[in-house]
Amino acid sequence: MENSKKNLRRAFLKKLTGTAVLASTVPQWLIGKPSKDTMILKKKDHHVSANDNIQIGAIGMGIMGFSNCNTAVTIPGVKLVAACDLYDGRLKRTQEIFGEEVTTTRDYKEILDRPDIDAVIISTPDHWHDRISIEAMKKGKDVYCEKPVVQKLEEGAAVIKTEKNTKQVFQVGSQGVSSILNLKAKQLYEEGAIGEIILLEAFMDRQSAISAWQYSIPTDASEKTIDWNQFLGDTKKIPFDPVRFFRWRNYRDYGTGVAGDLFVHLFTGLHALTSSNGPNTIYATGGLRYWKDGREVPDVFFGLYDYPETDNHPAFNVQMRVNFVDGSGGGGLMRIVGTEGVIECGNSIKLRKNKMPQNPGYGGWDSFDTFTEAGQRDFVKWYKEKYPDSKAQVKEPEMTEYKLPEGYNADYEHHWNFYNSIRTGQKVVEDAEYAFRAAAPALASNISYFEKRIVKWDPIKMKMA
């Protein structure tokens, strides 16, 4: 058994070495001109023919609906021609921003039935993601769907199957996976910059009402201006409630809580960086500490995850946290800790190297000082013979930082990847299967929290173990 583990470790290190050789062929936009210990990453060069037009329809014009459309229409050749939402005010606002020529409707099926629409952006509450995605692909539409790809674990297989059967382009909206920061972190990791991964720790904390999902509710919200029954979909029928409509993330019938909103971003980036299929053991805890406004999900949430050893990486552990009551003001960071250093991912990438000394050393907090004087002399003599002084080496910088160029936008990269895939047939960065592997541990975290148990997950078969 021990020999088997050693062989696996040698194979992993061999892979790191091989990848380091390949790194010399990394496109030049990944490497910026160094300035002391800081490098500015370069943008990708995008060449798009404005004549290669793509007409899109937007389904769901909430916060992310407007955000996605604002980004999409900046890509040459992409035109928004129709939008659907269940609140009349958002439809009027759509025409105010994107033009009165944009057709608006409360019925998403009208958009799917239009032959002149090539693709749709789905930015609805989570409980509609699977249904509309499947219907859209079967209607011949390419799909950009907000994360998480599904609301429930049992919905993932059908979306994946539909994507494969229809061969439509399908992209999920964890935009960070397309960022050059994420790609640079992956390059550093695969080069072996931090040795073997040991653990990942990440947090995304907030300190404001809006950040805690207490979104503004318009004064004209009513059953006349909102299609409440359509919003409910296949959830239980209850009386009209504008709070549930506009703050749907707080309720289990429509959203996926902290894990589905925020953890899924972390899993998406982590899996891209390590080429991992996901964890096999999931445990979550937390509580509702401050935002006791009728919500059904916690505002403080922790997740612990065991990642098994694979051909792509050794076994490692992950700990994640979100705190919506952060007295320090909020913020976020992801740290990938290895045997020889740390990669810190935030608004920039920081590589900190700290290799283990080749020699164990002695003295200080060590039993050496408890030896007799004679014993210490004998030990020093033995130590110098066993560990002769090594040659002096050039000292590497303790920290190297990689920053984004001015004006860089990861949202644009992610949308550009989607429309480029429609035009060229190239694979998207976040298809249904990849997105589900990232969503699954987030959704399983909710199961763990609400059922107060450890969840076993099969990351290969993508089902409960």
Distance of CA 81 to the CA centre of its chain: 29
Among 127, 124, 89, smallest CA distance to 108 is for 124
Question: Residue 252 domain-assigned?
Answer: no
Question: Residue 132 domain-assigned?
Answer: no
Question: Residue 359 domain-assigned?
Answer: yes
> 337 near 199, Cβ under 8 Å?
yes
Tokens at 177, concatenated: 């996976």
Tokens at 314, concatenated: 């050794």
- How much is the pTM? 0.89
Is the pLDDT at 449 greater than 80, yes or no?
A: yes
Alpha helices (runs of H) in 286-405, residue ranges in sequence order? 373-386
226-261 confidence digits (pLDDT tens): 999 999 999 999 999 999 999 999 999 999 999 999
pLDDT higher at 335 or 364: 335
- The confidence band for 396, taking pLDDT boundaries of 50, 70 and 90, is low
Q: Tell which phi-psi region holds residue 55, choosing left (phi > 0), alpha (psi between -120 and 50) or beta.
A: beta
Q: How many domains does the chain have?
A: 1
At residue 51, the pLDDT reads 60
**Locus of tokens 């707080």:** 250
Strand order in the sheet with 348-353: 34-35, 38-40, 399-403, 348-353, 341-345, 331-338, 197-205, 316-323, 300-307, 281-287, 455-458, 463-464
Is the pLDDT at 12 greater than 70, yes or no?
A: no
**What letter represents residue 428's amino acid?**
V
**What letter represents residue 57's amino acid?**
G
Q: Which domain holds residue 360?
A: 355-397
At residue 394, the pLDDT reads 58
At residue 398, the pLDDT reads 79
pLDDT mean across residues, the chain: 91
Question: Residue 325 domain-assigned?
Answer: no
Is the pLDDT at 14 greater than 70, yes or no?
A: no
Question: Residue 284 domain-assigned?
Answer: no
Among 322, 270, 293, 292, smallest CA distance to 445 is for 322
At residue 321, the pLDDT reads 97
Tokens at 349, concatenated: 């990438």
Question: Residue 315 domain-assigned?
Answer: no
At residue 21, the pLDDT reads 33
| Distance (Å, whole) CA 62 – CA 254 | 14
Residue % of the chain over a pLDDT of 70: 89
State the CB neighbour count (10 A cutoff) for residue 40: 17
Distance of CA 350 to the CA centre of its chain: 18
**What letter represents residue 124's amino acid?**
T
Q: Write the CB contacts of 281 (distance below 8 Å, at least 6 apart in sequence).
A: 305, 306, 454, 455, 456, 457
At residue 15, the pLDDT reads 47
At residue 27, the pLDDT reads 33
Tokens at 38, concatenated: 């800081």
Question: Residue 227 domain-assigned?
Answer: no
Question: Residue 114 domain-assigned?
Answer: no
Q: What is the mean pLDDT of residues 141-149?
A: 98
Is the pLDDT at 413 greater than 90, yes or no?
A: yes
> Rounded to whole angstroms, what are the CA distances from 55 to 72, 176, 197, 309?
10, 25, 44, 44
Is the pLDDT at 332 greater than 80, yes or no?
A: yes
Is the pLDDT at 294 greater than 90, yes or no?
A: yes
Question: What dihedral do alpha carbons 372, 373, 378, 384 form, nearest 10°?
Answer: 120
Is the pLDDT at 140 greater than 50, yes or no?
A: yes
Please name the helix (run of DSSP H) or strand (run of DSSP E) that holds residue 147, with its range, or none.
none
Q: What is the mean pLDDT of residues 396-412?
A: 89
- The confidence band for 358, taking pLDDT boundaries of 50, 70 and 90, is confident
Q: What is the mean pLDDT of residues 438-458?
A: 98
Alpha helices (runs of H) in 117-173, residue ranges in sequence order? 129-138, 156-166
